[in-house]
């Protein structure tokens, strides 16, 4: 792809972010063959907030649809939720999330993202993890973004079984099945 002039590049950046609001400045800089600083200047000129702010804007719209957990208690940012059916969250792996020695994400970060997404998915007042079976498939490194996708695979009177698949870009990095116990308001008041 030939390098675009500033105006054409800015137009293309706007279109790219509109189609994928979670694209990183790094990914844009690679795609358009310019520095990250150039991307930041272009976004500022276009009045497009940084990735973290874009994620927060989307997540805040979803938190009023979540009943079982406060938005501040969720590990990661919920970017999509259809209560009792499926949900998606993303988390950016920062220095607090990795081992200092090798810059690889700590397993409990990926587990916590998946587990709290399962809680957020279920539209009941009390949701607890009864059991889980997880598999860490690939290493996740510092500055990578993990997208967790949860979907209900079974529901009974007191339990949901939820499958979670987590990805870095398109690579599967984590797989889990969570059995979640829930109580309804009727049970809580009875």
Kindly report, residue by residue over 53-111, the tens digit of the pLDDT. 877 776 666 656 666 666 667 888 888 888 899 999 999 999 999 999 999 999 999 99
pLDDT at residue 59, rounded to an integer: 63
The torsion of the CA quartet 178, 96, 90, 50, rounded to 10 degrees, works out to: 170
Number of domains in the chain: 2
Same domain, 96 and 40: no
Other CB atoms within a 10 A radius of the CB of residue 21 amount to 15
Give yes or no for residue 186 having a pLDDT over 90.
no
CA distance linking residue 77 with residue 88, whole number of Å: 8
**pLDDT per position as a tens digit, 11-22:** 999 998 887 777
1 assigned to some structural domain: no
Output DSSP code: residue 2: P
User: Do 65 and 138 fall into the same domain?
Assistant: yes
Is 68 found in the same domain as 43?
no
Q: Domain of 156?
A: 56-189
39 assigned to some structural domain: yes
CATH code, domain with 39: 1.10.10.10
The verdict on 100 and 19 lying in the same domain is no
Task: Indicate the pLDDT class of residue 4, thresholds 50, 70 and 90.
Answer: confident
pTM: 0.74
How do residues 120-173 score in pLDDT, each as one tens digit? 999 888 999 999 999 999 999 998 999 999 999 999 989 999 999 999 989 999
d(CA 9, CA 20) in angstroms, rounded, equals 16
Q: Are 180 and 160 in contact (CB under 8 A)?
A: yes
């Amino acid at each position: 792809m030939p390098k675009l002039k500033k105006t054409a590049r800015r137009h293309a950046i706007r279109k790219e972010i509109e189609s994928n609001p979670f694209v990183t400045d790094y990914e844009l800089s690679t795609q358009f063959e310019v520095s990250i600083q150039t991307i930041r200047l272009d976004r500022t000129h276009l009045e497009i907030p940084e990735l973290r702010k874009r994620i927060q804007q989307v997540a805040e719209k979803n938190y009023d649809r979540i009943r079982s957990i406060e938005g501040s208690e969720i590990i990661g940012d919920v970017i999509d939720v259809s209560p009792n059916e499926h949900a998606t969250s993303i988390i950016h792996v920062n220095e607090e999330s990795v081992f200092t020695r090798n810059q690889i994400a700590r397993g409990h970060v990926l587990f916590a993202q998946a587990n709290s997404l399962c809680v957020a998915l279920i539209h009941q007042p009390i949701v607890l993890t009864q059991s889980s079976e997880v598999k860490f498939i690939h290493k996740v490194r510092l500055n990578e973004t993990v997208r967790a996708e949860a979907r209900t695979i079974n529901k009974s009177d007191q339990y949901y079984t939820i499958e979670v698949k987590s990805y870095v870009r398109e690579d599967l990095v984590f797989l889990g099945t969570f059995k979640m116990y829930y109580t309804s308001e009727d049970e809580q008041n009875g």
